[in-house]
Every structure is written in structure tokens, then in C-alpha cells.
Amino acid sequence: MTLNLPDREMRIFRAISDARETSIRAASKLETVPRSTLRDRINGAQPTQIAHEKFLSLIPVQEKELVDLIILREKAFQPLLKSEIHLYGQHLAELNGLGPHLGKNWVDRFFRRHTSVILKPSRLVSTARRKTVTEEGLREYYRGLLAICKELSIGSDRIYNLDETGVQEGESLAGVVAGTVLTTSSEKIQSDASA
């Protein structure tokens, strides 16, 4: 029987099987599992993660849903702020009947538990800019820029990365947002109403 378990749990699982044929002491020594742990598991104890699920603010299914929401919102250019993740988590905790309060460090622990999402810098992009920029338009612009650089003999040491607002790459007005670990930053579209 092959299960998708961490190495320690797999060794405990094998030691329980071995203990049926040999002694608990021999099985624990063979699989390098503490005797007390093996004895407790044989007597019905559960792994710590499963045993403590009832004390979690959100059940694992809800946390997975929150991870999916973070990734979905980033793809839609509306990444969630840390405070928004906290509010969403509080709402889910209220649905579980645990009350409205999640600790101030809950979001940080959430990101440690779910390594597929991280906090990263973002950039504000206006809606009008997002709608008007096309791949072909960008190709044409960069062809023209390359021609000018060649004509004027401009080297790469004299080129700076600024956009039309004068903001250098890496600077951000949108702040730190959550998103997938596959990218280093997120874009957040600024609505026309707030412009």
C-alpha cells in the first residue's frame, strides 16, 4: 500500500505493520520511530496534524479555497492585500462558529503553511493603459526604440527602466500583495473611479 505521506508518517505506518509480526521494541528500532509514538499509534492515537485539526481556525479545505482565491485574484490583476486575506479568513472562521477573531500573526502562519503563495511587491496599472496596450503595439514600440538606440549609438549603460509616470521598476504605490510563487511581482489594475 503506497500512500502520499511524509517520510516520518510512512516509517510509523511500516512500524505498525512490523509490530504485528515482531515486538514494538524491534519494530521501533527497525524503522527509527520512538517506542512511545509507536505504542500510542497502535492504541489509536492520531498524527498531531490530524489530532489538532479541530483547533484550527480554518479547516484544510477552507485554506485550500483561500489559496485558490489568491491565485485567481492575481490572474485577474486584482491581488489581495494581507489585510484582505485576514478579513476573508475571519469571515470563514465565523462560518465555522469560531468567532470573528483571528490572531494578528495568522496570515504569516498561513503563508508558511502554503508555500505555493507568497507576499510580493505589486505595481498599479491604470485600466485605460491595460486596455490599450497590445502585444503588436509593444513590438512596434520596441522596434522603433531599438532603431533609435542604434542610430544614436546609445549603449545599455545609458538606458534606464522608467515608465511614463517616471517610476522605476521595483517601486510601487500598490504595496505588498499576495500571489503565486511563480512570479516575482503582481500587477494591480487601478479602476477608473479611483483615478
Q: pLDDT grade, residue 100 (50/70/90)?
A: low
User: Mean pLDDT over all residues of the chain?
Assistant: 78
Tell whether the torsion through CA atoms of 185, 188, 189 and 192 is positive or negative. negative
Q: Determine how many CB atoms are found less than 10 A away from the CB of residue 45.
A: 14
Give the span between the Cα atoms of 153 and 92, in whole angstroms.
59
Give the span between the Cα atoms of 89 and 39, in whole angstroms.
37
Q: Would the pTM of this model clear 0.75, i.e. be above it?
A: no
Question: Which residues are bridge partners to 187 per DSSP?
Answer: 123
**102 Cβ neighbours under 8 A, 6+ residues apart:** 57, 86, 89, 90, 93
The pLDDT assigned to 152 comes to: 76
- Strand pairing report for 117-126 and 186-190: parallel
The pLDDT assigned to 169 comes to: 46
Of 52-66, 103-117, 124-138, the range with the lowest mean pLDDT is: 124-138
Q: Determine how many CB atoms are found less than 10 A away from the CB of residue 68.
A: 12
Q: pLDDT grade, residue 22 (50/70/90)?
A: very high
